[in-house]
């Protein structure tokens, strides 16, 4: 492959964000004309039945002419989510300090104290199941 073909794939500047089973790669790359663009890649790890694993990747190419509007909409969306739901993660599956035994013991305490259990309470007992791993 020519040097020019290799230049097209060259990463100029990169950052990685590890987030549980997902990893996000932010890469500045060069076009054939020598201008820069951004790729954002989400890589998610999946485990096979035999214990081996594979990754699924999704990539976004973002060019300079779209930066301003992209940043504006991204900021608007993230601000909306924080304003509506706060910055605390609601799903215990995504909380790094969540312990299953703490959750189950608090449910047992609630039942023992004769608090009524609703359908949503019983559904919550099963939120720790990860169907993607089955």
pLDDT digits (tens, 9 = 90+) for 48-69: 889 888 889 999 999 999 999 9
Q: What is the pLDDT of residue 89?
A: 83
Domain count, the chain: 2
Within a domain: 34 = yes
* CATH (domain of 59): 3.10.450.700
Q: Do 47 and 104 have their domain in common?
A: no
Distance CA 102, CA 108 (A): 10
pLDDT at 41: 96
Are 45 and 95 in the same domain? no
86 lies in a domain?
A: no
**Which tokens sit at 116?**
């009524």
Residues 4 and 49 placed together within one structural domain of the fold: yes
Total residues found in the chain within this entry: 134
CA atoms within 13 A on the CB side of 134: 4
**Boundary-marking domain end, from 64, 82, 102:** 64
Residues 10-14: contacts with CB under 8 Å, at least 24 apart: 12/36
Structural domain range at position 122: 91-127
Same domain, 58 and 111: no
Q: Do 48 and 8 belong together in one domain? A: yes
Confidence of residue 73 (pLDDT cuts 50, 70, 90): very high
Mean of all residue pLDDT scores within the chain: 75
On whether the CB atoms of residues 44 and 24 are closer than 8 A, the answer is no
pLDDT in tens, 98-113: 555 544 444 444 444 4
Residue 94 pLDDT level (bands cut at 50, 70, 90): low
Q: Are residues 57 and 2 in the same domain?
A: yes
20 vs 105, which has greater pLDDT? 20
Confidence of residue 121 (pLDDT cuts 50, 70, 90): very low
Confidence check: pLDDT of 115 > 90: no
């Amino acid at each position: 492959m020519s040097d020019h073909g290799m230049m097209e794939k060259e990463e100029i500047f990169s950052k990685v964000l590890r987030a549980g089973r997902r990893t996000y790669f932010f890469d500045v790359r060069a076009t054939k004309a020598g201008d820069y663009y951004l790729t954002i890649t989400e890589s998610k790890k999946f485990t096979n039945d035999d214990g081996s694993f594979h990754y699924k990747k999704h990539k976004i190419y973002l060019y300079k002419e779209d930066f301003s509007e992209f940043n504006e909409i991204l900021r608007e969306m993230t601000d909306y989510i924080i304003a509506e739901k706060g910055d605390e993660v609601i799903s215990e599956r995504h909380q790094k300090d969540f312990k299953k035994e703490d959750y189950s013991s608090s449910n047992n305490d609630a039942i023992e104290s004769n608090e009524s259990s609703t359908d949503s309470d019983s559904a919550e007992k099963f939120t720790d199941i990860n169907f993607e791993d089955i």
